[in-house]
Chain A
Amino acid sequence: MEKEMTPTLLSNSFTGTTNSSGSGEFKVSRRSNQKIKFAASLNHNNNSDKSSNSVPHKKAIKVLDAQRRDVTPLALGPTHLEDPQSKKKPLSLDDLFFNTGANIFKSSSVADVASSRLFCSSFSSMSTMESGLLSRSCKTEDSFPLQDVTPPPPVHSAVPLERKGLPEENPDQGFDVTLTETDTFSLLDISPTIISEDAEGAEAVKQRNIHYAEFCKSRMANDNYSERSTQAFVGEPKTKHVQTNKNSSVNKSTTATSWDMYDSLCKPVDAGETQEADQEDYFVSTKKEKDKAEGSLSGDTGSTLTFVVEMETCVDSLTAESDQDKIVLSESFQNSLLVMERVVVLNIFQPMLAAFRGLPVLKDPYSTEKKPVAMEQSTEDKDWFLTPTLERLWAFACPLSIGRNITSMTWNKRNPDILAVGYGDWSSGSPKPGLVCCWSLKNLMWSERIFPCHSSVTCLDFSANNPGQLAVGMYDGSVAIYNIQAKNQVACIANSRDTSKRHQQPVWQVIWTKQQLQLSGEERDEVLVSVSGDGRITKWLMLSDGFNCIDLMVVKRIQDRKEKPKGNQEKIENVLLPVTPVLCVDFHPTDAGIYVIGTWDARMHKCSFSNSAHFLDTYNKHFSPVTQVEWSRFYPDVFLSCSADWTIQLWQLDTMTPKMSFTSVQSPVDSIKWSPNCSMVFAAVYRQRMEVWDLSSSILLPTAVHHAEPGVTLGSVLLAKGSDCVLVGDSGGRVTVYKLKNFRAGKQKQVNNLDDIMQAVPGSLND
């Protein structure tokens, strides 16, 4: 039996009515004859007309073609279960996209293709799949591009089928349907005509057109036509999360200071290096990278204060140590250390140093300690009638030097703040190694240069031409020159230990003297002269083959004609006897060719630099070895000598007898020194005391006396230039500095001339 199939328009079957009624009808599109076999389907009530709302039966219809292939048109949605004949509509894009299990048809109004399908959550309904039908549709239609969708074979009946009921007795048997295509029915044929506007009859055509347009408009209200808007397919936006690194921002600013610009000009071009080396910024930061980055800005000054960051206090031990080593080894750090130490010490000793320099000692207004100053101040007002005293200021002592006996001290000729002290001790029989320390007034607690010597140091002298050179004479007879600008072993420039002609006996004095050599014109060359216990007065030179010496003179023991020879010795003039040790020497301040030596024989000789054979003069007064001779810097031809016979004698050059003599205690005089400031003051050191003589106030008694502490003997004395201080070196290794207070109270009075004094002494102290 044939199923009745009436071609009806299917245009409305998707218009939102769930119960799609009627039979599907396709526009006739092509001619094909196909035989389709329909499996029996029972109820076709719903096939009769499209307006009926009948509940479809549940029985499926199968269509088989001539080759018994199942060409049952597949339903697009569950609604089409009821109506198997409702063929596929001209597929919209929506169907293709959303039929993947999407329950679109069920959930939304089928009619409104565009909006509803788009905005319903198609994915959410994806999960609900209808049964096999949909899945089947999924399978087959997924791969369908639109154009491949073949419209199902047109349901077309060659003959209008009568609406008959199907045979009900054997529903499964099937019946054959033959479909053929008819000829094209031409329903309407109007040939278009175009006429020009100028032609006659154009008006009529226009009128007709207008009529027609109005007619069309009026027909718009017809239910057959409905306006529908469509919308282009717009892809659904999809949210996607993306993550990127945050762009960190750093505040940077700089102040272009003039030194900043100068540095940029002067620094090397390599920027990488400058970042490393150019630590111009003092930015406090915790990270090195930040530091480097800001180093390239080469420092901000005003902005640093606002950007100061709290610093980590925890120190990474490894980096700290390596940092420390790096810092410590750098030269500038050592310099800073030096300066810092000096500053710290100067802070401590500031009042003493102020007193040393003759500056007023200011009291610190904030100091918490109370000083008993009031008493002293009141007494200082009365200046005339006070006894001169020595006020102890400080002592040069450091752990290295304590305990060593001081034998000599000397000031530097160029820098009056530098003091060289020689330490040596031979009293115990075997001489110990000596030490030379160079102290600076800027650091009173630690000697800045320490040179150990292999033998006890007996004498020192600074050179005037090369102020950094210090000549050292030692107990074993060697003479060395040290360069105090160097710090360690390289300081010793010359040492006479290996020289063949060196002294065999202790060198008792070294002295630099300016001699006018033939070769040099105006410049006076300096020559180092040493006197030693082997009776030789030698001149030392730095020759090409080393440190060598030339004997100026060999002092031989002579027997005075007047002396009675002892024993069997005959009275012979200038008998060559064993040499006599020379204990001291001093060159004339103005005429460098003349010098005076003091010998063990208690004689003093005036010698000439050029004459190596004879003495020019001999001064006999002392009974014991003459320990020190010193010319006065203020009065020409006046020199002072002291000896172990407890006396100090004042001589004038051409007078064979001393002008004045000073005695105070019965103790050998070890050393005397003129004051460099005042022509009338000199200091003398005995074993247990030190005396300062001011000839303008008294010629019989020392003006000030200082007693040594028990247990120490005083070895050396020195007066400071430009300051009223006297330095005393003792056997404890200390150089104590005393200020001469209330000295020369007679400043206001007329200063006596030394000549006057000498002449005032009645007669001469001839023996």
Chain B
Amino acid sequence: MSKWLNISSSSNKRASNLHTKAAYTIIEQLCADVDETLKRIESHKGVIGTILVNGDGIPVRTTLDNSTTSQYARLLRSFTALASSAVRDVDPQNDLTFVRIRSKKHEIMVAPENNNLLIVIQNPCE
């Protein structure tokens, strides 16, 4: 018998509360979303570290130590450049979207966009 109940007034109140929930500005929301996503990625199983490198090759955000970070950033930058050049040489309208390097111990994933790099190192078999 509980399957249908008359609509109570409380549900109406709840509706209005939900509307006031979106009090963020758009940018704040965006930043929060992105932050959240990054944190989620970092907390996935087997993820060793994430590095965000800006256009100058300087690591902007990282979860690894400094020396490892700079090493990864430097090496992967040139590697990604090489890969992108290879892709675009064949067809200039094409472009590189993702690079995955699977090695014995772990996998390095690089997402290049707009000269920035998002690097994630994961060991999926932990």
- The answer on a CB contact under 8 Å between B44 and A327 is no
- The answer on a CB contact under 8 Å between A347 and B122 is yes
Which residue of A has the minimal Cβ distance to B116? A327
A258 CB within 8 Å of chain B? yes
Bound Cα distance from A60 to B114, whole angstroms: 99
Bound Cα distance from A571 to B27, whole angstroms: 68
Q: Tell me if B's interface is mostly helix, strand, loop or mixed.
A: mixed
Map CB proximity to A onto B75-95 as digits: 1 under 8 Å, 0 otherwise.
001101110110011001100
Bound Cα distance from A122 to B81, whole angstroms: 70
State how many angstroms separate the Cβ of A646 from the closest Cβ of chain B.
18
A337 CB within 8 Å of chain B? yes
- The answer on a CB contact under 8 Å between A311 and B57 is yes
A344 CB within 8 Å of chain B? yes
Q: Residue among A364, A426, A432, A476 with the most chain B CB within 10 A?
A: A476
Binds B, one of A284-292, A686-694, A757-765: A284-292
User: Are A332 and B113 CB-contacts (below 8 A) given A339-B97, A430-B10, A452-B18?
Assistant: yes
- The answer on a CB contact under 8 Å between B81 and A337 is no
- The answer on a CB contact under 8 Å between B60 and A324 is yes
State how many angstroms separate the Cβ of A487 from the closest Cβ of chain B.
9
List the count of A-B residue pairs having beta carbons below 8 Å apart: 198
- The answer on a CB contact under 8 Å between B88 and A454 is no
Question: Which of A304, A323, A340, A600 has a CB less than 8 Å from the CB of B60?
Answer: A323
Bound Cα distance from A338 to B78, whole angstroms: 23
- The answer on a CB contact under 8 Å between B98 and A343 is yes
- The answer on a CB contact under 8 Å between A336 and B113 is yes
User: Are A315 and B89 CB-contacts (below 8 A) given A279-B115, A337-B37, A489-B22?
Assistant: no
B contact residues around A339 at 8 Å (CB):
97-98, 111
B contact residues around A323 at 8 Å (CB):
54-55, 58, 60
- The answer on a CB contact under 8 Å between B45 and A305 is no
- The answer on a CB contact under 8 Å between B118 and A333 is yes
Q: Residue among B59, B85, B92, B97 with the most chain A CB within 10 A?
A: B85
- The answer on a CB contact under 8 Å between B52 and A327 is yes
B11 CB within 8 Å of chain A? yes
A366 CB within 8 Å of chain B? yes
A contact residues around B40 at 8 Å (CB):
341, 445-446
B contact residues around A332 at 8 Å (CB):
113-114
In B59-77, the 8 Å CB interface with A consists of: 59-61, 66-67, 69-70, 73-74, 77
A contact residues around B77 at 8 Å (CB):
282, 284
Question: Which of B58, B73, B80 has a CB less than 8 Å from the CB of A320?
Answer: B58
- The answer on a CB contact under 8 Å between B78 and A315 is no
- The answer on a CB contact under 8 Å between A320 and B122 is no
User: Are A308 and B74 CB-contacts (below 8 A) given A343-B98, A366-B125?
Assistant: yes
User: Are A301 and B92 CB-contacts (below 8 A) given A311-B73, A455-B11?
Assistant: no
B23 CB within 8 Å of chain A? no
Map CB proximity to B onto A235-259 as digits: 1 under 8 Å, 0 otherwise.
0000000000000000000000111
A109 CB within 8 Å of chain B? no
- The answer on a CB contact under 8 Å between A284 and B109 is no
A328 CB within 8 Å of chain B? yes
A500 CB within 8 Å of chain B? no
In A454-481, the 8 Å CB interface with B consists of: 454-455, 476-477
- The answer on a CB contact under 8 Å between A279 and B55 is yes
A570 CB within 8 Å of chain B? no
Bound Cα distance from A454 to B14, whole angstroms: 7
- The answer on a CB contact under 8 Å between A341 and B11 is no
User: Are A257 and B85 CB-contacts (below 8 A) given A305-B78, A311-B58, A433-B18?
Assistant: yes
- The answer on a CB contact under 8 Å between A347 and B58 is no
A376 CB within 8 Å of chain B? no
A contact residues around B58 at 8 Å (CB):
311-312, 315, 320, 323
User: Are A348 and B44 CB-contacts (below 8 A) given A337-B118, A369-B125?
Assistant: yes
A733 CB within 8 Å of chain B? no
Bound Cα distance from A334 to B41, whole angstroms: 13
State how many angstroms separate the Cβ of B6 from the closest Cβ of chain A.
8
Bound Cα distance from A261 to B41, whole angstroms: 38
- The answer on a CB contact under 8 Å between A476 and B11 is yes
Bound Cα distance from A335 to B116, whole angstroms: 13
Question: Which of B44, B70, B84 has a CB less than 8 Å from the CB of A344?
Answer: B44
B contact residues around A348 at 8 Å (CB):
44-46, 122, 124
A506 CB within 8 Å of chain B? yes
Map CB proximity to B onto A131-144 as digits: 1 under 8 Å, 0 otherwise.
00000000000000
- The answer on a CB contact under 8 Å between A476 and B7 is yes
Bound Cα distance from A742 to B105, whole angstroms: 35
B101 CB within 8 Å of chain A? no
Q: Residue among B2, B8, B35, B56 with the most chain A CB within 10 A?
A: B56
A contact residues around B74 at 8 Å (CB):
284, 308, 310-311
Q: Residue among A323, A366, A426, A581 with the most chain B CB within 10 A?
A: A323
In A302-330, the 8 Å CB interface with B consists of: 304-305, 308, 310-313, 315, 320, 323-325, 327-330
B contact residues around A327 at 8 Å (CB):
52, 54, 60, 114, 116
Which residue of B has the minimal Cβ distance to A369? B125
In B1-37, the 8 Å CB interface with A consists of: 2-8, 10-11, 14-15, 18, 21-22, 27, 29-31, 33-35, 37
Counting from the closest, the 8 A-B pairs by CB-CB distance are A282-B81, A262-B92, A259-B88, A336-B111, A367-B125, A279-B115, A533-B4, A454-B15
Q: List 8 A-B contacts (CB under 8 A).
A: A282-B80, A282-B81, A313-B70, A329-B27, A334-B37, A340-B109, A347-B122, A430-B8
